[in-house]
Chains A and B, each alone.
Chain A
Amino acid sequence: MAYSSEKLSEEKVFKDPVHRYIHVQDRLIWDLIGTREFQRLRRIKQLGTTYLTFHGAEHSRFNHSLGVYEIVRRISDDVFKGRKEWNDDDRLLALCAALLHDLGHGPFSHSFEKVFNLDHENFTKEIILGDTQVNKVLQRAGEDFPRKVEEIIAKTSKNKLVVSLISSQIDADRMDYLQRDAYFTGVSYGHFDMERILRVMRPREDQVVIKQSGMHAVEDYIMSRYQMYWQVYFHPVTRSAEVILTKILHRAKDLYEANYKFKHEPIHFYSLFKGEMTVNDYIKLDEAIILYYFQMWQEEEDDILRDLACRFLDRNLFKYTEFDPAKEYKKLTQLSELFEKAGIDPEYYLVVDSSSDLPYDFYRPGEEEERLPIHLQLKNGDIRELSRESSIVDAISGKRRTDHKLYYPANVIYDDRNHPQIKRQIRELLELE
């Protein structure tokens, strides 16, 4: 029997708090889950620093990846199977892409990517195509199969239907993370009727569409996504922790470049500092390693690195104030000068952080927008873009919401033992007095 069609002698199930059970029947999927590169995802949190705000948010990318796989499995096996627009030969391709879509995520990806100019999508590609256990398993399904899976994840495949299952404005990735993140953070947003959405999904030649009767379930999904972004993902306290994390990495990199002698040699960071990160080095990185160095850096001679590491581990985060860059950029320059005068390095201790989200958007010919809209399938088989049918979605379409905050170390600003006058000026500018 060909490996790609080989089934397990007995179906395996994972107990899951969101989908109840995750079902695995295919040998290939089971083998992929067992690879070291996939197991590594157990050691990377799905929501990075969010656990410092919502203490339940300790779930991993492993949980989420299995969840996305399960949603695609249900769409393929329970909804699309037998429909003429769906090619059953694409089933395994879709399942593998769903399972592996986040494979290249590193620990605290957002901060790492920013500081070291990395791209987790590139690492996903390199892990799938390189000399790895995942690649060996995929190769058994066909020499070209790893490439096909990688192209689905990178959205460079000509199979647009499978791409849209994994990556579009209504895809398995979002449907899993919204529910999972809501469950683990404990918030009441993020819930929507996924069962209903799955039942009304229909395959078309180049994307998944939604039966018109499912429009209200989709509206609910879009609203829950909107709320999750502003209530959970962009929470200002989580962003404060991320600002500090980013600055720790910055400081460590700057010190390395200045030939600083670390008390505890950060050997796992060397290839990052040198910009020579290989896949092998990358997959060794996980949150345990990073937090180990943060522990060690609490004892470093360098005041900034030591302070930032202590702040992160003790959750002694920066405070924040609303900031309007358009009106206040001159104030920012003033503050920066005052910080320097007070001996507080503004590069590390005065940080503007911005969050922005576009809840839904549709394609406007000629405007060079790049989002694939959600399409409804009308009773007569015609296709119509969602916001043209739904007034709720129309009201938020194309409307981006942005939020800027200015972060600073309040305890230092209020400590008048040195530079009291300058600090008073800083507090006045920050409108703290």
Chain B
Amino acid sequence: MLKDHAKIMHAIAASNEIIGRKKLQKMIYIAKKIDYPFHEKFAFHFYGPYSEELTLRIEELCNMGFLNEVREKKGGYFQYRYTLTESGAEFLNLNEVSMPHLEDCLEHMNSQSARFLELVSTVLYFDNLSKEEVAEKIFTLKSKQRYTEEEINQAYEYITQLKHKARTH
């Protein structure tokens, strides 16, 4: 019951805090793609893989008082900072979640920029395509982000590292 809610709370607790909705979306998507059992459905949107279900779950958790959402002004726009509340921690204690090595993976992802995670998640979204085809997709669909070939290579390397981290410690 409410297991999927508990998993998201566990991910946020393990990350200590997550700044930015885009970052949160991409972190959960990447974790899902490296086989952590998140069940939110993702589809391709403006910034890459995006889950309406995850957005909803986060809103619910905020309404339940389990997550703290702080709206902060950054430059010309707003961003959101997510942390677990005390009652969230209490709930999580009652609903234990076990996802080995997830904390390390999330910590690693959390230290990256949202822009880079957007690239990594897009590479993972097109994991059935060759590297050349993926690069072409990124240059076409994400032309505004101006990703370089070097960054795409870094994304591939990053995915390998992360998968290794998820399996072993």
Chains A and B bind each other = yes
Interface residue A329 (Cβ < 8 Å from any Cβ of B):
yes
Residue from B2, B44, B47, B77 within 8 A of A154 (CB atoms): B44
Instruction: List A contacts of B44 (CB < 8 A).
Output: 154-156
User: Most chain-B CB neighbours within 10 Å: which of A117, A333, A368, A370?
Assistant: A368
Binds B, one of A54-62, A228-236, A350-358, A386-394: A350-358
Within the assembled complex, what's the spacing in Å between the Cα atoms of A356 and B57?
10
* Interchain CB contact under 8 A, A158 and B56: no
Task: Please give, as numbers and ranges, the residues of chain B lying within 8 Å of A368 by CB-CB distance.
Answer: 20-22, 25, 47
Interface centre among A155, A325, A350, A400 (most CB of B within 10 A): A325
CA distance A121 to B46 in the complex (A): 17
Once bound together, how far apart are the Cα atoms of A156 and B128, in whole Å?
A: 14
Q: Which of A342-375 contact B (CB under 8 A)?
A: 346, 350-352, 354, 356, 364-370, 372
Q: Is A1 part of the contact surface with B, judged by Cβ < 8 Å?
A: no
How far is it, in angstroms, between the C-alpha of A369 and the C-alpha of B47 when the chains are bound?
A: 9
Contact among B2, B39, B78, B141 with A156 in the assembled complex (CB-CB below 8 Å): B141
Q: Which residues in chain A, 211-239, are within 8 Å of chain B measured between CB atoms?
A: none
In the complex, B100 has a CB within 8 A of chain A: no
Contact of A356 with B50 in the complex, beta carbons under 8 Å:
no
Q: CB distance B78 to A333 under 8 Å?
A: no
Residue of A nearest to B122 (CB): A156
Contact residues in A for B140 (Cβ distance below 8 Å):
158
Q: Indicate if the CB atoms of A356 and B56 lie closer than 8 Å.
A: yes
Interface residues of A in 110-157 (CB under 8 A from B): 113-114, 117, 119, 121, 154-156
Count of CB-CB pairs between chains A and B under 8 Å:
73
Q: A156-B141, A365-B77 are in contact. Are A370 and B50 (CB under 8 A)?
A: yes
Q: Is the CB of B64 within 8 A of A329?
A: yes
A370 touches B47 (CB 8 A): yes
Q: Give A322-338 as 1s and 0s: 1 = Cβ < 8 Å from B's Cβ atoms.
A: 00011001101100100
A418 CB within 8 Å of chain B? no
A350, B76: Cβ atoms under 8 Å? no
**How far in angstroms is the closest Cβ of chain A from B9?**
12
Interface residues of A in 71-119 (CB under 8 A from B): 113-114, 117, 119
Complex contact B1–A336 (CB within 8 A): yes
Q: Is B79 an interface residue when CB atoms closer than 8 A count as contact? A: yes
Per-position binary interface string of chain B over residues 7-26, scored 1 when its CB falls under 8 Å from any chain A CB and 0 otherwise: 00000000000001110010
Within 8 A of A (CB), among B82-102: 91, 94
Q: A351 contacts which chain B residues (CB < 8 A)?
A: 1
Q: Taking the complex as formed, is B63 at the interface, i.e. its CB lies under 8 A from any CB of chain A?
A: yes
Q: Contacts A117-B39, A367-B21 known; A325 to B64 CB distance under 8 Å?
A: yes
Cα A287 to Cα B22 in complex, Å, equals 38
Contact status B60-A402, CB under 8 Å: yes
Q: When chains A and B are docked, how far (Å) is the Cα of A325 from the Cα of B78?
A: 28
Shortest C-beta distance, B40 to chain A (Å), equals: 11
Whether B41 and A366, one on each chain, are in contact in the complex, defined by CB atoms closer than 8 angstroms, is: no
- Give Cα distance in the complex from A329 to B65, angstroms: 12
Residues on the A chain within 8 Å of B141, using CB: 156, 158
Is B151's beta carbon under 8 Å from chain A?
no
Chain B: which residue is nearest A330 at the CB level?
Answer: B94
B1 touching A346 by the CB < 8 A rule? yes
CA distance A117 to B41 in the complex (A): 9
B163 within 8 A of A: no
Q: Say yes or no for B144: interface residue by CB 8 A criterion.
A: no
Encode contact with A along B134-154: 1 for CB under 8 Å, 0 otherwise: 000100110000000000000
Report B46-79 residues with CB < 8 Å from chain A CB: 46-47, 50, 56, 59-60, 63-66, 74-79
User: Is A329 a contact of B56 with CB atoms below 8 Å?
Assistant: no
A 253-278 contacts with B by CB, 8 A? none
B39 to chain A, nearest CB (A): 7
Shortest Cβ gap from B97 to chain A (Å)? 15
**Assembly CA distance A325 to B91 (angstroms):** 11
Q: Point out the residues of chain A lying under 8 angstroms from B169, CB to CB.
A: none
Nearest residue (CB) in B for A333 is B94
Task: Tell whether A326 pairs with B63 under 8 Å between CB atoms, given A367-B21, A368-B22, A368-B25.
Answer: yes
* Other A-B pairs, 8, CB within 8 Å; known A326-B64, A329-B91: A155-B44, A158-B140, A158-B141, A325-B2, A326-B65, A329-B64, A367-B21, A367-B79
19 contacts between A and B (CB under 8 A): A154-B43, A156-B44, A325-B60, A326-B63, A326-B64, A326-B65, A329-B91, A330-B94, A332-B1, A332-B2, A350-B1, A356-B59, A366-B74, A366-B78, A367-B79, A368-B22, A368-B25, A402-B56, A402-B60
| Chain B positions near chain A (C-beta within 8 angstroms) | 1-2, 5, 20-22, 25, 39, 41, 43-47, 50, 56, 59-60, 63-66, 74-79, 91, 94, 126, 137, 140-141
Among all A-B residue pairs, the 3 with the closest Cβ atoms: A366-B77, A326-B64, A368-B22
